[in-house]
Structure 1
Amino acid sequence: MKCQNCSVKKKVRSEKEFKALLNRLSRIEGQVRGVRSMLENDAYCIDILTQVSAINAALNSFNKILIANHIRTCVKENIQAGNDEVVEELVSTLQKLMK
């Protein structure tokens, strides 16, 4: 089954980059499970909101790393190959992220 939101493009990441991104996502998953547990245990609203804010910060940090790696590899390689369309793709993505 094909992902509806995924392009057909692929990116081979170094083992170091892959593990670092995966570790960040695993921590975020743990934080989300923690918020679910807080909700199930009738935690105070402000405590839950504080944890949700931490999750948002962690996701933003993940995005910053992914974007930086994307610019250093995919964007750079595409521009060097004469594919300037990658710049518009990046601009469009950044605009979506900054809503």
Structure 2
Amino acid sequence: MSEARVRPERFEAFRDFVVSAVRTFPDRHPGLVAHEVLLAPPGTLLYVSRWRSEADLADYAGEHWRDRPVVLPGEDEYLVAPLQVRHFTLTPLN
């Protein structure tokens, strides 16, 4: 999951920017199982992705995937702080 703290006056433009950028990710990254963009206007956008395996995520995000977010070119102009990344693992409920 990556969290973007967005300039409120650029929020809608950033949403459109991110949605456009990630729309083709499933076709380009076969290990990507699901992804979504979550909005908390006026200043927070989350990109949540689910991967088939840690290896698939590392193939996409690079060797420093655990602590360095993948940043889209031009993304910084929308943000008030650096992009934050966090990783979670799924625990079955049964």
Q: TM-score, normalised by structure 2?
A: 0.28
Greater C-alpha radius of gyration: 1
The structure with the greater share of residues assigned to strand is: 2
When you count helix as a share of all residues, which structure comes out higher? 1
Structure possessing the higher relative contact order (Cα contacts under 8 Å, 6 or more residues apart): 2
